[in-house]
Structure 1
C-alpha cells in the first residue's frame, strides 16, 4: 500500500471519527431540562442616567466630528488673487 494512500485513508477516518464525536455531543445537548423552581426577587432603588446613554450627546458629538473632518479636509485652500 502506498504511503500517500494510507495517509489519505487515515485522514478520512480521522475526519469521520471527529464528525461522529461532535454529532454525539450535539445530540447529548438536546435533552430535556429538569424543572427548576427559582424565585428571584429584585428591588429597584434609584437610577441615575449616565451622560453617554443620552442620544442627544451622541448626535451633537457626531455633528461636531463631521464639522471637524470637513474643516481639516478643506485645509488651507486659499484663492490666489
Structure 2
C-alpha cells in the first residue's frame, strides 16, 4: 500500500475520531437537571444632579472653536511668504 494513501486514511480516521470526541463532549452536558428559571430582578433608580463637564454643549462649542483656530493657524504656516 502506498504511504500517501495510508497517510490520507490515517488523517481521515483522526478527523473522524476528533469529530466523535467533540460531539460526545458537546452532548455530555447534564440534561437531566431542569433549568432554574426563578429570577429575582430588583431595580433601584437613583437620580443625580451633578453634571459632567462633557455633557455641557458650551464646552463642545468652545472646544470646536479652539480646534478650528489651531487648524487654521497650522494650515497658514505661521511664516511670511516672499
Q: TM-score, normalised by structure 2?
A: 0.48
Structure with bigger gyration radius: 2
Q: TM-score, normalised by structure 1?
A: 0.49
